[in-house]
């Protein structure tokens, strides 16, 4: 139980760092993804299968020019290693729902033409989704 809490705190700190660097520099440091994978070795219930399945929906758009950045794909791979398959799916749902809501707000404020080519960092949304998913999948028994 204490390892789950320690792993969760480390996971959250690393995700917040990734979000801040993505906002400032539009990149996610490789060492952050490696550190998150090391956190997955602390016995959080994640898996290699979770890493692959979580990263796959981000990998294909990353191949398209102007799509998702490679740092976001690596970050999702690392998060999937911590969260496992279902936790990774939950992270995707929460994160992309937040992206859609944020994009809708921008669309209503600026109009379609202003939003058409607007790039935004994805890691802050992945951070919120990852922390929420970790709390739900690993800390549910403690919190609820």
> pLDDT digit string (tens) for 113-128?
666 666 789 999 999 9
Residue 98: what pLDDT? 95
Query: Each residue of 98-109: pLDDT tens digit?
Result: 999 988 887 787
- Please, are residues 77 and 88 in contact by the beta-carbon 8 Å criterion? no
pLDDT of 110: 74
Where the chain has pLDDT below 70, the residues are: 44-45, 66, 112-118, 140-144
pTM for the model? 0.89
pLDDT score of 81:
94
What local confidence, expressed as pLDDT, does residue 103 receive?
83
């Amino acid at each position: 139980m204490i390892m789950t809490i320690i792993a969760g705190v480390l996971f959250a700190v690393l995700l917040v760092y990734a979000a801040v660097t993505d906002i400032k520099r539009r990149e996610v440091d490789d060492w952050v993804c490696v550190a998150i994978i090391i956190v997955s070795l602390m016995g959080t219930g994640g898996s290699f299968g979770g890493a692959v399945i979580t990263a796959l929906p981000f990998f294909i758009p990353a191949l398209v020019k102007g799509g998702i950045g490679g740092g976001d794909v690596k970050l999702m791979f690392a998060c999937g290693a911590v969260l496992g398959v279902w936790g990774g799916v939950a992270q995707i749902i929460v994160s992309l729902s937040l992206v859609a809501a944020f994009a809708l707000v921008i669309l209503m404020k600026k109009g379609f033409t202003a939003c058409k080519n607007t790039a935004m960092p994805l890691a802050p949304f992945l951070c919120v989704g990852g922390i929420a998913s970790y709390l739900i999948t690993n800390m549910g028994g403690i919190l609820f």
